[in-house]
Amino acid sequence: MIIVQKYGGTSVADAERIKNVARRIKKARAECGKVVAVLSAQGDTTDDLKAKAFEISRNPSRRELDMLLATGEQQSAALMAMALHDLGESAVSLNAAQFGLHSTSNYGSARIKRIETERVNMELERGSIVLIAGFQGVNRYGDITTLGRGASDTTAVALAAVLGADRCEIYTDVDGVYTADPRLVPSARKIPRISYEEMLELSSLGAKVLHNRSVELANKYNVKLIVRSSMTEAEGTIVWEGAKMEKMLVSGIAVDDDVSRISIVGVKDEPGVAFKIFSCLAKEKISVDMILQSIGRSKTNDISFTVACDDLSRAIETLKENRDAISWDHIGSIDRIAKLSVIGAGMATNPGVASAVFEALYDVDVNIHMISTSEIRISVLIDVQDAKRAANSIHEKFSSLNVEYAG
């Protein structure tokens, strides 16, 4: 039996924690036979390296940034191998170039194209524990890419899929998936089992436990995901099709505060404008989230949308470069704003949910900047300083309303 584990940055932040994780891996090896562990960079390593880059250049090349950042995961993998050797285990660290994780070329947010299994299987057959540097790939030129935020999860799930692993355990600093972020909402409860679909909504909307790409991939290849803490023996949350439960009215609340809002004021009210705006952003690989078009004055419209904070300056630059093609009056932006989302598969058939959300926000005097809804989700943009108050108010409202509430 093969199992794949993934340990996040806080789980390997220092020598003591690395030794602690090594003992877990050793135990898993004794119980399961073959273990592949994917490692993130230690603690703040990635942020520290980024800071170094920005000390040198205000706009560092994305290729070179990936070359720099990928070293963090390689260090963790090597250190973990040493810790396992000290426990008498055979272990070997491999970076993406060594075992063959081939990706697209868009540095900073590359996508996995293909994973070779030959080297990993050879090491497993030899009886070694395989320690994989997460977060990274190599493109067709042999250059190092990184797979974007949360990508070590994706590496782990993809490996579990290609290796036919029994399960993929994601070790993190929380002990499972909660109905809301417990740091924001003290009354939040752990969800023991959740379906891919609901987890996908939660994670794509800012619940930072799992990255949505890893959940998509797990869904596609039916990989049984387990989210657990590396610090405790708590059971964690199982994400799996087999874990599908009755459709609940509301399964969780997610807050994403890594959001910037851009407003393009005074664009012409004519066909093709939205296409021009969002195609030039897409060319630059900038992901756009909530989009809202409203009617401005004198036959012009205003178009607002959100991007990740990291992409804000690049997005504005790109728009300015294309001003002739698009044409507008002016551009406004908010550096950081919070997106609060309420998710629940049962929402579609219950029209009362939206009004309950708005009521809960009104109860605590939170102003809403933008609203966007889908069949199983309501998202609102609110000020960052309102996020905690808003999440608690909504959580409380549904805890009392919703007897089927998860947990």
- Binding residues (CB under 8 A) for a copy of itself: these are 15, 18-19, 49, 52-53, 55-58, 60-61, 63-65, 67-68, 71-72, 74-75, 77-79, 81-83, 85-86, 92-93, 95, 97-98, 142-144
State in angstroms the smallest separation of the CB of 350 from a copy of itself.
52
Of 71 and 263, which CB lies nearer to a copy of itself in the complex structure? 71
Residue 41 is given by DSSP the state P
- Which amino acid appears at position 400 of this protein? S
Backbone angles phi, psi at 268, to 5 degrees: -65, 145
Of 81 and 180, which CB lies nearer to a copy of itself in the complex structure? 81
CA distances from 96 to 33, 67, 102, 145, 364 (A): 23, 12, 8, 9, 49
State in angstroms the smallest separation of the CB of 81 from a copy of itself.
4
Of 19 and 389, which CB lies nearer to a copy of itself in the complex structure? 19
Q: How many CB atoms lie within 10 A of CB 117?
A: 14
Q: Angle at which helices 62-86 and 15-32 pack, to 10 degrees?
A: 70
Residue 175 is given by DSSP the state S
Q: How far apart (Å, rounded) are the C-alpha atoms in residues 87 and 97?
A: 27
> What Rg value do the Cα atoms of the chain yield, rounded?
22
**What DSSP element (H or E) covers 380?**
strand 377-382
Of 52 and 113, which CB lies nearer to a copy of itself in the complex structure? 52
List of E strands, 80-207: 91-94, 101-103, 112-115, 129-133, 136-138, 144-146, 167-172, 177-178, 190-191, 193-194
State in angstroms the smallest separation of the CB of 60 from a copy of itself.
4
CA distances from 136 to 115, 152, 344 (A): 12, 8, 33
- 250 within 8 A of 342, measured Cβ to Cβ: yes
State in angstroms the smallest separation of the CB of 65 from a copy of itself.
7
State in angstroms the smallest separation of the CB of 82 from a copy of itself.
4
Of 60 and 346, which CB lies nearer to a copy of itself in the complex structure? 60
State in angstroms the smallest separation of the CB of 314 from a copy of itself.
16
Of 80 and 406, which CB lies nearer to a copy of itself in the complex structure? 80
Of 109 and 219, which CB lies nearer to a copy of itself in the complex structure? 109
State in angstroms the smallest separation of the CB of 39 from a copy of itself.
12
Q: How many CB atoms lie within 10 A of CB 14?
A: 11
State in angstroms the smallest separation of the CB of 119 from a copy of itself.
8
Of 79 and 356, which CB lies nearer to a copy of itself in the complex structure? 79
| Helix locations, 87-173, DSSP H | 96-99, 118-125, 151-163
